[in-house]
A = this chain, B = another copy of it.
Amino acid sequence: MNKRNVVGILALFSLYGCGEGQGVVEPEMVAEPASGPPNIVLLFADDMGYGDLGSYGHPYNRTPNIDQLAAEGQRWTDFYVAASVCTPSRGALLTGRIPVRTGIYGDQIPVYFPDDPGGLPAREVTMAEALQDVGYRTGIFGKWHLGDAKAAWPTRHGFDEWLGLPYSNDMDWVGGRTVEEAMIKYADPKLEYWAVPLLRSSVTADGYSDETLEQPAQQTTLTKRYTEAVIDFMRRSGDQPFFAYLPYTMPHTPLFRSAGFVHRSLGGRYGDVIEEIDWSVGEIKQALFDLGIADNTLVIFTSDNGPWLAMKTEGGRAGLLRHGKGTTFEGGMRVPAVFWWPGRVQQGVVSEIGSTLDIFATVAALAGADASSAVDGVDLAPVLFAGEASPRNEISYYRGSELYAYRVGPWKAHFVTEGRYRQPPEREEHEVPLLYNLMIDPSERFDVAADNADALAIVIAAVQRHKAGVVIAPPELDKKLAVGAG
């Protein structure tokens, strides 16, 4: 066997007998850690689908920088978000807690809209706060979407500074809000259709400096300006370790890119936008080398949820996965994920299970920070740095407060489904859950519950354990309905 180019980190799934004892790589020499806690760069795309990158199989979007990051680091095939829409996914990322535990979700309202009351509750501890506590400089350059009231701004939740949008780039429509109008605007996006503001905020000696830089935000420049801002932030950090969070506004529709990327991609406007994000990743990587800190920086690239299929050719692709954003099928919640840290992250394609929920715990362990609040995450260090099995073997798929599906090893059971492939959403409860073996049926096509009673029982037992460990908080995002009624 020619093993030159494979790191066969195989899952030691308890239910997947044939994987056991095979292909597990001996831990290689791990380079000496560079001095001091590492810098963390977290790159977070918006609605980028599982199939949108070259390294994940897209035929036309050219993403050489992200693909190279993947080739030099780890490219994960089974990495998840904790919700299939923006706000709860971001809340889970920053807290390491599932949405039903924090309350950052809604059963009526899926995400925060402009002027909604509330926002990320003060009781929650963010990754930024934990890192700030151990001496990190913290900056966010991009979309927040955890409440636009000032009390909910990122500078009130552990970030020293922020440049970005308070919510999605398609909110604040100009001239009415009918669905018909929206679809016309999405299909032929023009800057004047959206009035979303670009904000800047920082923590000062005596409080906060908050300003609206421009309104409407010049969306064609956002990817470029976020990139410049994060590089400037890294440069200004000097010897202090930093946490830089770059939640791109793109490729969420409406699609905007700077002049150099117009008609650049074979994949159309969506491809242009993806390729500008890829450019951004290349610029940031180069800056890490230029600043001489690449060997002490962990870079993570992932996405907040699956592709928005309703946007047709203005949206992304889930590759061979079923469905997209807004659903609990794999296309909704499994996302591209790349980890890179030269000399530390072991190279390879990884099919261990991971989640954005785990980033807080993983990063905190490296920084010596307190992650005790991040109870739904695990430290992925064994996979990243030693090529060992993941401490995570389960994924919960919630929609609002309801657990729709659950994965244990290769087995995924659907208790409720909503959203069919290429058909209008339609809620369906399954008295006998649908059961898929994701490893041999990644597209969730063949229900095998009838032939795998043991596997189904194991998933159901895991669900009972999971539920016993969760107190469901009231939905923060639905609060405005109560306000409106009051």
Contact = CB atoms under 8 A, between A and B. Distances in A.
Contacts of A64: 2-6
Nearest to A13: B266
A349 B54 contact: yes
B312 A59 contact: no
A422 interface: yes
Interface string A266-289: 111111000000010011011000
A33 interface: no
Contacts of A286: 2
Contact of A320 (B8, B62, B67, B317): B317
A23 interface: yes
A184 to B, nearest CB: 14
A22 B442 contact: no
A10 interface: yes
Contact of A22 (B22, B60, B264): B264
Contacts of A263: 18-19, 22
Say whether chain A's binding surface is mostly helix, strand, loop, or mixed. loop
A47 B124 CA distance: 53
Given A351-B60, A445-B312, A440 B2 contact: no
A208 interface: no
Nearest to A263: B18
Nearest to A279: B1
Contact of A319 (B260, B320, B421): B320
15 contacts: A2-B285, A2-B286, A5-B64, A19-B266, A51-B57, A51-B319, A51-B320, A59-B351, A59-B442, A266-B351, A268-B437, A268-B439, A270-B440, A313-B441, A319-B320
Interface of A: 1-6, 8, 10-11, 18-19, 22-23, 51, 54, 56-60, 62, 64-65, 67-68, 77-78, 260, 263-264, 266-271, 279, 282-283, 285-286, 312-313, 317, 319-320, 349, 351, 421-422, 437, 439-443, 445-446
- Top 10 A-B residue pairs of the complex, sorted by shortest distance between their CB atoms: A57-B57, A268-B440, A18-B263, A59-B77, A2-B282, A5-B64, A6-B64, A313-B440, A5-B68, A266-B439
